[in-house]
Amino acid sequence: MTAGEHISRPPIPAELKVMIVSAFIIAIGFGIVSPILPQYASDFGVSAMAVSAVVSAFGLFRLLFAPASGRLTQALGETPVYVIGLLIVAVSMIATAYAPTYELLLAFRAVGGIGSTFFTVAAMTFLARKSPPTIRGRVMGAYASAFLIGNIAGPLLGSALLVFGQEVPFLVYGAALVIAAAVVFFMLRKSRLEDRKNKDERQRASVREALGHGSYRAALASGFANGWATFGLRNSVVPLFAASAFVGTGWFIDSAQLAGVTLACFAAGNVVVVLTLAKRSDEWGRRPPIILGLLVAGAATGTLGLAPEPWVLLLLSVIGGAGTGLIVPAQQAALGDLVGEGRNGGTVISTFQMVQDLGAIIGPLLAGLLVDQLGYAWAFGLTGLILMLGAAAWSLAPETLTREESGGRPAAS
């Protein structure tokens, strides 16, 4: 193929577009509550570690129920498990809005973790199975973009909703999840019936097979690091740091609103990179963006606790978000490469999800402990190191994108 030739690639299938729309609806709701939840938990008069435990409880039950989600996905199909998961989280959010004690808040978040792992594993298995190999990076980028655009608007909307009461953001998120469940249930009915008819004929990818690939082992390492940093630390410690470290600075945004703006800046860095570069992993390969993203996110996150001014915090959040925008779509595409088109990889995806959730559990707890004992700089510094160790793992792993799937050109290695 010459430099001037254009590679013809198929469009994104309609059923995958439905999943992408649903992801956007979910992300709006998640973005609404993410900057509010740590402050909501702290109002019960508990320590920073106890606040982090609210995030970790969510991750712990995702971890515990990930094997069940993989088996259910293989037994029932992806879309039924997806809808069930969304409805479980919706109920938990409504209950969270009216939690009378810290202990019940913890319990409601734990139940939400069960539903979350159901819909996450089901969605990723569906995307891996249905995505044509030549546009897998583009599909994963579009799916990630839907989440990220929602995460930009969500924190800002959540901060605005606070004027109506602390329970309102949680109720709005619950309603968004019900809408997303309805979209998938009704618009993917034909796909669901076809999958039910043909599910016994589909090949299944095994965890044992996947573990034989160095790239899957590297994905587990980077998934752990990303879970620690993005799903753990960012949603527990970063809002607390933003809300407390710059009190009295006289900046035009008050400390409470700064938490939401910080998460929005992280999401903005994500979405800019995902929209412009994610699909390039179909040409360049999966490894280069994953390695670069882990290094960039590690450097930005590691220095976050040293930010002397609010604008530096926001800038580092944008850079860290950009790094994560390189990691996530390419990493998901690599998992899809390993599972293979048309195969059910429920247990392979759920195992990856378990490891990522393990990072999301350990990260907030250890970071919260470090904040209580040594300060924010230590918590962010350790997280930056964990991300860079993930980059080291991928530097030793083989490329998952084949020459044929990249349009005839060898992927970077």
Three-state helix/strand/coil letters over 340-355 = CCCCECHHHHHHHHHH
At 292 the pLDDT is 94
How many beta carbons lie within 10 A of that of residue 182, not counting itself? 15
Gap between the Cα atoms of 169 and 160, Å rounded: 9
Tens digit of pLDDT for each residue in 65-124? 888 888 888 778 888 899 999 999 999 999 988 888 989 999 999 999 899 889 988 888
* Token pair listed for 201: 């004929």
Residue 380: strand pairing partners: none
CA distances from 59 to 62, 116, 235 (A): 5, 9, 11
At 412 the pLDDT is 53
At 320 the pLDDT is 93
At 247 the pLDDT is 66
Q: Which pTM was predicted?
A: 0.74
* Token pair listed for 51: 């606040």
Residue type, 256: A
Residue type, 252: F
At 36 the pLDDT is 80
* 188 neighbors 15 (Cβ within 8 angstroms): yes
Region of 165 on the Ramachandran plot (φ > 0 left; ψ -120 to 50 alpha; else beta): left
What is the rounded end-to-end Cα distance, in angstroms, of the chain? Answer: 19
| Cβ burial 192-203 (10 Å sphere, 16+ → b, else e) | beebeeeeeeee
Which regions of the chain are under pLDDT 70?
Answer: 1-9, 151, 192-203, 205, 247-256, 341-345, 403-413
At 410 the pLDDT is 47
Task: Output 102-106 pairs: Cβ under 8 A, ≥24 positions apart.
Answer: 102/41, 102/44, 102/46, 102/50, 105/40, 105/41, 105/44, 105/54, 106/53, 106/54, 106/57
CA distances from 237 to 51, 56, 246, 257, 307 (A): 9, 12, 14, 15, 14
**Domains in the chain, CATH or no CATH each:** 14-395 (1.20.1250.20)
